[in-house]
Structure formats: C-alpha cells, structure tokens
Structure 1
Amino acid sequence: MTTAISTTTRAVVEELLRRIGAGDPERVAELYAEPSDWKLNWPESEHGRTATPWIRHRASRADAAAHFREIGEHHLPEEADTRIERILVDGEEAVVLGEIRQTARSTGRPYRARFALHLTVENGQITRHHIYEDSLSVAKAFTP
C-alpha cells in the first residue's frame, strides 16, 4: 500500500514540476485540492509587499493560479531557470530540493534562491504546499 501511495505522490509531484516549467498557471492549479494548505517561510510583515505580491499564504486553486501568474508578471521569463536536485518521497509526503534562478523585472537584478518544497498528496491532489526559500536573495533583488 505504501509503495502505491509513494508512486502516486511521485507522479503528482513530477507532473506539478512539468506544469510549472510549462508556465501554465491554470494547469498547475488543477493539481491542488480545494482547499489546500499553502504557506511560505517569509516573515508575515513581508507578505504581499508591492514588489513581491505572490509571497503570501494561499488556500485555493484560484490562489495557486494567481501565485504562478504573479511570479510570471514580476520576473523576466527568458532568464528563469529552476534546478531540481532531488525529490524525496515517503508515502503521501514529498520534498523537492533545488535552486530557483530568476531576474526581477522591476530592477533587472538576477538572483538565486535555494529552496525546499514540502508537498502532501492525498487522493491524487496536493493538499499541502509549504515552501522554504532564501527570502533574503529574493528581497534584495526587488529592493530599488
């Protein structure tokens, strides 16, 4: 049973990463449950800043789509790259480790941010999306 669950979890995570890479926020959002638990490790006082509006907690598919649209609007897509180093799966839980490479549209500053993405997949849908990233690198890139 655990092997079947882990296989499903891995398949959903790999599909999520493919859809994010394809840049279609609506298709990404289809993978999330209603509601879902979406959290970022940024300080609450930094959530929703004008320069980084995608950085806030989310709870729905519409929120997930908005997150990826807002990232696209605030970065130069031709300079974006994400390096996935490892995907660890244990039953319904998965952790994706890697590095995001982006360039802030407003300042033209590139940045690299290491990340760990903790996902939970239940019944083929993502119910938890907790991201831990180098928020200082992102903040510096968007600071005028």
Structure 2
Amino acid sequence: MTTYDTVQELLRRIGEGDAERVAELFAEKSEWRFNWPAEGHPAVPWIRPRSSRADVAEHFRMLGAYHVPELNGTSVARILVDGDDAVVLGDIAQTVAATGRSYTSPFALHLTVTDGLITRYHIYEDSLTVARALSAENLQAS
C-alpha cells in the first residue's frame, strides 16, 4: 500500500471504531506525540505516552469508551502526502459520554508510513477545549 492508501485505511478503521484493526496498521513500535503536557491531563485519561501496537489499541478503545460514537462528526478536509509522510487536516467533533458535552477542535495529524505500517503519529488539537468538555468542574461553571 502507498502512504496515501495506508492513511485512507487508517481513517476508515478509526471511523468504524475497531481499535484492534486500527492497531494492525501500526508498526510494533511507533513514535507518538500529542500537543499536551507529557503527563497528559487528569480529565483526559487517553492522553499519555504511547509507543507500542498494544498502546495504539488501548488509545482508540479509550477514545470510544469516553465518547458517544453515534454523535461523532469528525471530518477530514485534506490529506497531504510527501513520500512516507502524510498530514491529515480536519475537525474533531465529539460528545463526551460522561458529561454530555460536545466539543469541536481543528486538528492536524502527522503520520509517517514505513513499509506499509505507521511509525509516526503526531496529533495537534485544541487540548483546552477537549479537557473542558471532559471536566466535571466545567459543568458546574456553565
């Protein structure tokens, strides 16, 4: 598969919500980066250091568990490919299961595909918006 094909397949599998099938597209070890503090955020438990295929599956299982899948409105505006690297631009639109709060955030996802497997996953999003949607304190302030 080309880099573009791998990215398309990743997006398709994420949309299906099958964490194990998403993880199959990743190398056994991969480089992950979030635009969050290294230790993550207490309201957002899926944000933490990751590097293995098992970590990938756990990450996407947690995303599914903390959100209402039927209300996911995430969209992709553009996929840019340059050799082994790809950048996906779009908007995340989710509803948090525990709080019922919806949020939207633009995102950029930088991927590297090596020998048909994803070896880099760097995602940039509005982390403050995500944390606020998951925070019980924010419900009291509203």
- Give the TM-score of the pair, scaled to structure 2: 0.92
User: Does 2:69 align with 1:74?
Assistant: no
Q: CA RMSD in A?
A: 1.1
Query: The residue matched to 2:78 in structure 1 has which SS?
Result: strand
Count how many residue pairs are aligned between Structure 1 and Structure 2: 136
- Counterparts of 1:55 and 1:81, CA distance in 2: 20
Contact 2:41/2:131 (<8 A) preserved: no
Q: Percent identity?
A: 61
Per-residue deviation, 1:48: 5.4
- Counterparts of 2:28 and 2:87, CA distance in 1: 21
Q: Which residue of 1 aligns with 2:10?
A: 16
User: Does 2:29 align with 1:35?
Assistant: yes
User: Does 2:49 align with 1:57?
Assistant: yes
Query: The residue matched to 1:81 in structure 2 has which SS?
Result: coil
Pick from 92, 117, 124: which aligns with 1:132?
A: 124
Structure 2 gap segments, 5+ residues each: 137-142
- Counterparts of 2:26 and 2:49, CA distance in 1: 14
Task: Report runs of 4+ in structure 1 exceeding 3 Å deviation.
Answer: none
Contact 1:95/1:117 (<8 A) preserved: yes
- Counterparts of 2:105 and 2:41, CA distance in 1: 19
* Residues 82-123 of structure 1 deviation map (CA, whole Å, 9 limit, x = unaligned): 110000000000000000100111211100011000000000
